[in-house]
Structure 1
Amino acid sequence: MMMARRSQGLSERHRKILDFLTRFQEENGYSPSIREIGDSINVKSTSLVDYYLTQLEQMGFISRDNRVSRSIRVLEPAERLLNRAVKAVRQLEDVVPIPVLGRIVASEPIPVPPSDLAYFDPESSVEIARSLLPARERPEELFALEVQGDSMIDAMVNDGDTIILRRAQEANNGDMVAVWLDDRDETTLKYFYKEKDRIRLQPANPTMGPIYIENPAHLRIMGKVVMVIRQVKSVAA
């Protein structure tokens, strides 16, 4: 983070020195002299050039041994380093808030009030770095639910975790989905499988059996899971 801030604050002379050092070393295989660096930026004072080099060294762009002539080493080509620093800043700033709409049951479905999926405060959200989300996902189509239950533990989804879902009304076999069972007013989180004459909701827990939905009209898919945010539990000493 400190490197990123400093790179954005480089003066024009700092940048010109880095560019000259990079080109000179690539062409000659060794570093230029202080005077050659000064000539490249139209500065006659070697002490002023040394001052700029000291600043670049303190910022981590170069290394050198003051006891040895022509010992300057660019730690990374200037243009690539600067681009990487700016990119890192943009990634840190690119945080996507995902609204938390409520709780989903990841065990045997239990009856819940119809308003359960909106019981959280409207301001509730989790912040995710955009770079962590699958590239194809559009943030405006995503929402989050807290997980209750342990039927998906073999899928690395535990009680208390938060899941990020993409809004969807259809699913493919093997998708992990959040579903609403209209005829029971119940929610559950399971793997979805469409069989010949029914829907199978498969848990990821060997101690639990599947749920069979004989009438697909009674099942409403709310979203497909795209990410799981694990809850870190502290261990008592």
Structure 2
Amino acid sequence: MLTKKQLDLLEFIHTRLQRDGVPPSFDEMKDALDLRSKSGIHRLITALEERGFIRRLAHRARAIEIVKLPESMGGVPSAPTAAGFTPKVIDGPHPSPAKPANITPDEVQLFARELPVMGKIAAGVPIEAISHVDHHVAVPGQMLSVGQNHYALEVKGDSMIDAGINNGDVVIISETNAADNGDIVVALVEDQEATLKTYHRKGASIALEAANPAYETRVYPEDKVKVQGKLVGLIRTY
């Protein structure tokens, strides 16, 4: 079931694709639906994608394709899914799409972006500092903040399992050298070892806390710990 605004937007996109072969811009969609901001278009597009009516592509700007149409627009009725469940999946080891070009900051969060995977990060005892690009991974734009630099790391170890971070997961990190208490951070210890832990400042000391009772909290003088980024997302491959 689509709302009137969702149906109006789907009809507008479909008409423009039929006429021009390319989808309309965010500004055109906003004007056509008489909305005040492009954030409203973003929400409508996300709703249409979640309901399986459109698919957003990452290899070119404004890449939207119609997957199906509702019956009111001549579409074929959809077969019901078990218990109404529609899975949302982030695919695993497939080739990363190219970064889209010529899109606005409002539009960039609709598309996947390619991030470098900077090797492995210890969610356990700290391992050697990470400084090389191992490969790249495509990351949904919704995970990322416009204007911020990001990178990815593969998790090694189980010390953060109670925070939902498992061995083999890929974590998405926003580059920063500052953190608040309770943030999960990439911390460089004594300029030699990198680890993924929950950050707590206690006076002139920094506590790096695991999310697994099998691992003890490690406390260091503040000059021995450098924050290299904060956790903003996670990708898991089954």
Is the CA contact (8 Å cut-off) linking 2:169 and 2:237 kept in structure 1? Answer: yes
For residues 159 and 61 of structure 1, do their structure 2 counterparts lie closer, same or farther at Cα, with a shift above 3 Å needed?
same
Structure 1 residues 172-187: aligned runs within 5 Å? 172-182=180-190, 185-187=192-194
Aligned to 1:154: 162
Quote the residue 1:221 is aligned against.
227
**For the Cα contact (< 8 Å) 1:176–1:189, is it kept in 2?**
yes
What is the SS of the residue equivalent to 1:173? coil
Q: Percent of pairs identical after alignment?
A: 29
Aligned residue among 9, 14, 17 for 1:9 = 17
- Tell me which amino acid in the other structure corresponds to 1:212: V
Match status 1:196 vs 2:203: yes
How far 1:93 sits from its partner (Å)? Answer: 7.1
Structure 1 runs not aligned, ≥5 long: 13-57, 65-89, 233-237
One-letter amino acid of the structure 2 residue matched with residue 203 of structure 1: A
Contact 2:111 2:140 in 1 (8 A): yes
Unaligned ranges ≥5, structure 2? 1-9, 21-67, 75-106
Q: Mark the CA change 1:62 to 1:168 in structure 2 (over 3 Å): closer, same or farther.
A: same
- Give the TM-score of the pair, scaled to structure 2: 0.55
Are 2:62 and 1:62 aligned? no
Provide the rounded CA distance (Å) in 2 between the counterparts of 1:63 and 1:126: 37
Deviation, 1:127, is 1.1
Cα deviation, 1:102-148, whole Å, max 9, x if unaligned, reads 211010113x2x5x43151xxx2211222x325xx126511111110
Q: Deviations over 1:155-207 (max 9, x none)?
A: 00011000001101111100000011125x21111000000231110000012
Name the aligned partner's letter for residue 204 of structure 1.
A
Pairing of 1:17-28 with structure 2 (within 5 A): none
Structure 1's 93 and 167: CA in aligned 2 closer, same or farther, altered over 3 A?
Answer: closer
Instruction: List per-residue Cα deviations over 1:205-229 (Å, max 9, x = no partner).
Output: 012110110x211111110000011
Task: Say what the alpha-carbon RMSD is for the aligned residues.
Answer: 3.1
Q: Quick check: which has more Rg, 1 or 2?
A: 1
Instruction: Report the counterpart of residue 107 of structure 1 in structure 2.
Output: 124
**Equivalent residue number for residue 118 of structure 1:** 132
C-alpha contact (below 8 Å) 2:116/2:133 kept by paired residues = no
| 2:18 aligned counterpart, secondary structure | coil
Distance 2:199 2:149 in 1: 20
Seen in structure 2, the aligned counterparts of structure 1 residues 3 and 148 have a Cα distance that, compared at 3 Å, is: farther
Instruction: Using the TM superposition, give the Cα deviation of residue 94 of structure 1 relative to its aligned residue in structure 2, in angstroms.
Output: 2.1
CA-CA distance at 1:9 after TM superposition: 3.4
Aligned to 2:115: 98
